[in-house]
A and B are shown apart, each in its own frame.
Chain A
Amino acid sequence: MTMRVVIERKIYPAQEGAPERALFENLSFELADGEVCAIVGPSGIGKSSLLQIVAGLDRDFEGSITGLPQPVGYLFQSPRLLPWRTARQNLELVIPEQPGRAGEWLAQVGLSGSEDVYPQRLSLGMARRVALARALAITPKLLLLDEPFSSLDEETSRGMQRLVAEHMQTLRPTTLLVTHHWHEAAALAQRVITFDGSPARIMDDQPIRQVRAAE
């Protein structure tokens, strides 16, 4: 089933002196089952807000999201692990019916031996890998990745990209990847949507091959 995102209007409320502004107007796109689509665009344009809307976490907009694949795995920009639960417990919480698999998932993201560590003892790269394992462990039909490789050193970033690519091959979830790095989009996605302007509009929507050829 095709997922269809239609946002007629999304207002960002006035805050701390900044006036209210329209984040999106008449924005719509579709994603085929299993399609991996990168969303690129400048900072602050609303890429993360779009993921929040698609995930159903922000319902304060005019429009509709139909054909949403379930369940949704969401890798937030910050790892958002529950700090009072260990790495393993954070995973067990999302797969209560198969708690034994938490250890396997941690091994897959290269964190054997850190199962019983609390998140605040993990580096950002490690915490993000736990969060990635959490998003993948539920066997998502829709995977939302919000700048999954930002603030990581080159090597960690490449390792994580490999991990994401491998698991996307096996699980084949419909994926929205928010990034502002072209090379990340090129490495993982089949299609790139470019946002720009205020309110944000789709400036470009192309298969990755054409984007590469144009470059």
Chain B
Amino acid sequence: MRAADGEDRGTWQGIASILLFLSLWQIAAGLVESRLFPGPAMVLKSLIHEAVDGPLLHDLGITVTRVAISFIIAMVIGTALGIALGRLAWLDRWLNPWLVILLNVPALVIIILTYVWLGLVETALLVAVALNKIPNVAVTLREGARALDRDYAEVAEIYRFGPWKTLREVIVPQIAPYLLAAARNGLALIWKIVLVVELLGRSNGVGFQLQSYFQLFDVSRVIAYAAAFVLCVLLIELVVFSPLERRVGQWRR
């Protein structure tokens, strides 16, 4: 009961802090009076206009789809690679330098090179985003695989769980926190990279629109597109990640 009260209070404090920020922003915008520094009311107006009469929903849909596909590719490959690296020491010795290199190559360089080598196509976008994210997922899941407790694997062996049941009942629950951490960081990183990739070489999506309005110095629309996207990500956090996290951590309470 007390924990729930604390959670509620946390939520209200969060909302209050956002409202306070919006009020200060509105006041500051009123003082500056420049179209290069629009207030939240102006941004909201642009947002509604772009959503109803403009291409916002269409572009948002395209970007979200790209984020979803890149996310799935990066998570699947990164997870498989990470688990393999965590379990097979010889593979880790071979591939660890490459992980370190990929983790440190600037995202922009990977994006430019994939566009140059694969052309300004959708595949290049997906490859660029996945290449940027796979090393992060792999490193996190490698830790997860290393932390797997041999004791539980022995229980599974003695009581003849078989491979599928062992995966479901013994391995997944142990790596779930790592998967969740990788997914959460993954989403945050991927949507930022997707926007850059769109900005550099695609003719649609939120990143492309940001680029267009940037050239027109239409700051209220730039913020409106960014806000629409941030709202989408928040929604995913609330609907997908928070409930998942509660479920994964249920037994610890």
Contacts and interface: CB of A to CB of B under 8 A. Distances in A.
A11 interface: no
Interface string A46-75: 000000000111000000000000011110
A75 to B, nearest CB: 10
Give chain A's interface residue range (CB within 8 Å of chain B): 20 to 34
A120 interface: yes
Contacts of A120: 251-252
A138 interface: yes
A78 B151 contact: yes
A82 B173 CA distance: 9
A57 B154 contact: yes
Interface string A152-195: 00000000000000000000000000000000000000000000
Nearest to B170: A82
A80 B160 contact: no
Contacts of B160: 71
Interface in A68-94: 71-74, 76, 78, 80, 82-85, 93-94
A72 B158 contact: yes
B161 interface: yes
Contacts of A56: 157
Nearest to B173: A84
B251 A94 contact: no
B251 A74 contact: no
Contact of B169 (A71, A78, A82): A82
A10 interface: no
Nearest to A70: B160
A57 B157 contact: yes
B152 A118 contact: no
B159 interface: yes
Nearest to B252: A120
Interface string B161-175: 100010001100100
B152 A93 contact: no
Contacts of A83: 251
A118 B253 CA distance: 9
Contacts of B251: 83-85, 118, 120
B88 interface: no
A93 B159 contact: yes
A128 interface: no
B173 A74 contact: no
B155 interface: yes
A71 B160 CA distance: 9
Interface of B: 151-152, 154-155, 157-161, 165, 169-170, 173, 250-252
25 contacts: A55-B158, A56-B157, A57-B154, A57-B157, A71-B160, A72-B158, A76-B151, A76-B154, A80-B151, A80-B152, A80-B154, A82-B155, A82-B169, A82-B173, A83-B251, A84-B173, A84-B250, A84-B251, A93-B161, A93-B165, A94-B159, A120-B251, A120-B252, A134-B159, A138-B159
